[in-house]
Structure 1
Amino acid sequence: MKKKVVIFSQIFPEFEEKLKQQFDVVKIDPKLSDQLGDVNQQIRNAVVDVHGMIGAGRVLGQAQLETAQHLEIISSVSVGYDNYDLAYLKERGITLAHTPHVLTETTADTAFGLLMSAARRIAELDQWTRQGQWQRTVAPAQFGMDIHNKTLGIIGLGHIGAAIARRAYYGFNMNIVYHGRREKIEVADAFKAQFLSLQELLTQSDFVVVAVDLNAQTRHLISTQEFALMQSHAVLVNISRGAVIDEHALYQALKQKQIFAAGLDVFEKEPLTESPLFELDNIVVTPHIGSATQATRYAMNKLAYENLVLKLNGAQPKYFVQ
C-alpha cells in the first residue's frame, strides 16, 4: 500500500508527477474553500492518514495537524520556517525539512538590487521621469546616495548575509560590519568584516541589511529606538522576514527623514495590498521575490521533493530543521 502525501501549495508539475508515481497524492486547493471548507479545514481533513506533506506559505501547527495519525515529515519549499510550530512538531516526532543554500545567491542579488534602488532612488525617479517631470538637468532634489566605499552593516552573517558581504566588499569596496548571535570569524575574515553590537552597527553603518531568522528574539528587532540610532543618510534593506522590523516605526522614521530610504521584500502581513508605507517616495517595495527566479525556484522544489522522498523511504533528508 502506497504512503499518502499532501501537497499544500503549488509545486512544479514535474515533481508533482513524480510524487504521484510513488505515493497517493492529495492537493489542497484554496479555490475550493466554498465546497471543501477553508484551507485549514481542508488540511485537517486531508492529514488524517497522511505520511508526508510538501509545500510552503501555510501556518502548520496543532490546529491544522492534530488529526494526523501517521505524519512523518513536512518538507517545506523554503529556507525559513517561522510559520511552523517547532515545539509541536518536535513533541509529535514530525520531521521538518527545508531548502537552504540553493536560494542564497539569488536572495543576495535581490538584497543588493533593493539597496541600489533605494540609495539611487531608481523606483522613485522612474515614476518622476514617466510623469514628464524631467524638463531640465536634475538638481539636488533628485540626488541619491553613493554606495561604493561606504559602510555596510549586515545583521545576520549567515549564508545569505555572507553572499551580500561578498558583493559589497569585492564589487563596491565597502567596509563590512556585522552583528549576530556570535562572531563568524572564518566568514568575516574573507571580507575584513568587524563584529559589532547592534547599537554600534546601527550608529556606524551607511547601509543596513537585515538577514536574520524570525524568532522571539528578532521580532521587531528594529523599532523606534533602533531608528533613532541610525544616521540620517542611512538606507535600510530587509530580505529576512517582515516582522523583524516594526513597520509603524519604519513609517515614522521614513516620513520624518530619520533615515534616507528603505528597501523591503518582506512584510508583517503577506500578501500586502495596502499600507501607509506605500504613500512614501523614499521606499522601494517588492512582493517577497527574494528567491523568485525560475532556476532557483526549480532548485528549491527539487530539494524539497528529495527531502520528502528520502524520509518516506526510511532515510534522512538532506536538510532538516529538526
Structure 2
Amino acid sequence: MKVLIGWHATEEEMARFRKALPNANIVGPRPAPYLSRFDLTLKSIADSIVDADAIVGWVMPDGALDLAKKLKLICWMHAGCDELDLPRLKSLGVQVTNLRGANSIAVAEHAMAIILGLAKRLVAKHQAVVSAQPSPLYEDGSRSAMLHGRTLGIIGLGQIGSNIAQRAKAFDMKVLGVRLHPERGAGAADEVYGIDGMHDVLSKSDYVVLSTPITRQTDSFFGAREIDSMKSGAYLLNIARGNLIQEHPLYDALTSGKIAGYGADVWWTYNNAFPATYHFPVPSRTGIQRMANVIATGDQGANADDVVDRNISRSILGLQEFSESKPLTWKIDLDLGY
C-alpha cells in the first residue's frame, strides 16, 4: 500500500506513519514554496499520487483526481467535507474518512470563548482600556449580558454541538438542541427538536449557535426568515461553515439592532463572484467583521494544543483499518456529505 502524506510533514510525523504502517510505502510531497506547511500544490504531488492507494491531508489540489489512478481512500483532516468532489469520488469508488469529533472539544471551547466575548463586550472594553477611555457603568451599551439563566439554542447537536451544550450547562444555561435525527437524544441539552422545531427554538433563545455540517440542504439555510424568528437582542454564533448564513440578512440584522451581536470562526466562500473575490475585503464583502458588535476569528477553533497530534492518530487508525480490509470507523456517507 502506498500512502501519500499530503502536507510538508516533519520527520517525527513521517516516523509515526512508518512505525504504525510498517508494510506501507509512506511518501510526502516534493519540496515546494508555501506559506503554511499544510499547503499542497498539484505540482508537488504529481508524480507520487499517480499510484497512491491513499492520501492523508488538509488539501486536495485541483486536478489531483485526474492523475490518481489507484486511489481508494482519502483520510480528510477536516470534519467538513464540502471542499471535496463527493459525487466524483463516489463514481471513482474512493472512500473518505473525516475528523468528526476529533476537534470537537477544542472547537466547543472556542465557541464558548466567543459567546463570552460577545456577552461581556470584551473587545470594546479592552480597547477602552488601551485608549484610556472610561467605560460608563450600568448604562445601555456598556453592561454585559448574562449567560446564567439564559437560553442557548444549538442548531446541529452533533459532537461539536453536544460539547458546547455540556459547557453551557456549567454556566447554568438552558440548552435547546436541534438535530436532523432527534430520536438520537438530547445528550447534555435540556430538550431536543427536529428540523421542524427550529423556528420555535430560535424564538426562545438568547444565544444561537450554528454547528451543522454544510451540505446541499444546509447551504444558505439561515436567512431572513430564521433571523426574524430570533428573539430581538439575541446573539448569533457560527462555528461551522460561513456559507450556512445568508450574508445580507445578517448584515441588515446587525445594523438594525435586530440581533445584538455576531461571532464567527468561519467566513463566506464566494463562488461565481464578479469581480472576483480577491477584489473584496474578505472575509466579508459587506464588512461585517469590522462592526463593533462582531467578534471574528479566522478558522482558529481547531488551532489548539494536541489537535494535530490527535488528527494524525485518527488518520493512522483509518489507514490501518483500510490496510486490513476492516470497516472504516470514520467513513463518511458520500451522498450525505458527512
TM-score normalized by the length of structure 2: 0.83
Q: State how 1:112-191 maps to structure 2 within 5 Å.
A: 112-134=112-134, 137=137, 139-169=139-169, 171-184=170-183, 186-188=185-187, 190-191=188-189
Partner of 2:5: 7
Alpha-carbon distance in 2 for matches of 1:217, 1:307 = 28
Query: What secondary structure, in the 3-state scheme, does the structure 1 residue paired with 2:28 have?
Result: strand
8 Å Cα contact 1:266-1:286 kept in structure 2? yes
Amino acid across the alignment from 1:47: I
Higher deviation after alignment, 171-180 or 147-156: 171-180
1:52 aligns with 2:25: no
Q: State how 1:271-310 maps to structure 2 within 5 Å.
A: 274-275=283-284, 276-310=287-321
Q: Report how many aligned residue pairs link the two structures.
A: 312
Give a deviation string over 1:255-278, Cα, whole Å, max 9, x none.
221100011011123998553012
8 Å Cα contact 1:44-1:65 kept in structure 2? no
Amino acid across the alignment from 1:292: N
Superposition deviation, residue 79 in structure 1 = 1.8
8 Å Cα contact 2:7-2:28 kept in structure 1? no
8 Å Cα contact 1:28-1:39 kept in structure 2? no
Flag the 1:224–1:72 CA change in 2: closer, same or farther, 3 A. same
Name the Cα RMSD after superposition: 2.7
Partner of 1:106: 106
Superposition deviation, residue 147 in structure 1 = 1.0
Partner of 1:320: 331
Instruction: Extract unaligned runs of 5+ from structure 1.
Output: none
Alpha-carbon distance in 2 for matches of 1:163, 1:135 = 34
Flag the 1:78–1:11 CA change in 2: closer, same or farther, 3 A. farther
Partner of 1:76: 76
Query: What secondary structure, in the 3-state scheme, does the structure 2 residue paired with 1:27 have?
Result: coil
Amino acid across the alignment from 1:48: V
Give a deviation string over 1:190-238, Cα, whole Å, max 9, x none.
5321426222122221100111000011111212222222222111111
8 Å Cα contact 2:95-2:331 kept in structure 1? yes
Alpha-carbon distance in 2 for matches of 1:249, 1:237 = 15
TM-score normalized by the length of structure 1: 0.86
Superposition deviation, residue 313 in structure 1 = 4.8
Superposition deviation, residue 39 in structure 1 = 2.2
Instruction: Extract unaligned runs of 5+ from structure 2.
Output: 271-277, 334-338
